Amino acid sequence: MKPPYPSGNIRINADEYYEIKHWAKQLGVSVQQLRSAIERVGPLVNAVRLHLKDEIHPDNPWYPRAERPRS
């Protein structure tokens, strides 16, 4: 299952609590874990996903997987 939309350039607005809460729920992590990840790697969803890879359950559609090469 793929995430509902491409996340390559989606930014998480850390100043908006509803966005932090939304993305924490989507990724299956705590608000604090998400805030910490944003502080370390920036607000891009892909960077946050990769940083939190060990915290996101593999069944979660947002779990980072290797991209398949396009032919």
Question: How confident is the model over 4-54, as pLDDT tens digits?
Answer: 544 456 899 999 999 999 999 999 999 999 999 999 999 999 899 999 999
Rounded Cα distance, 14 and 46, in Å: 15
> H helices of the chain, where?
17-27, 31-41, 45-51
Radius of gyration of the chain (CA): 12
The pTM for the full model equals 0.77
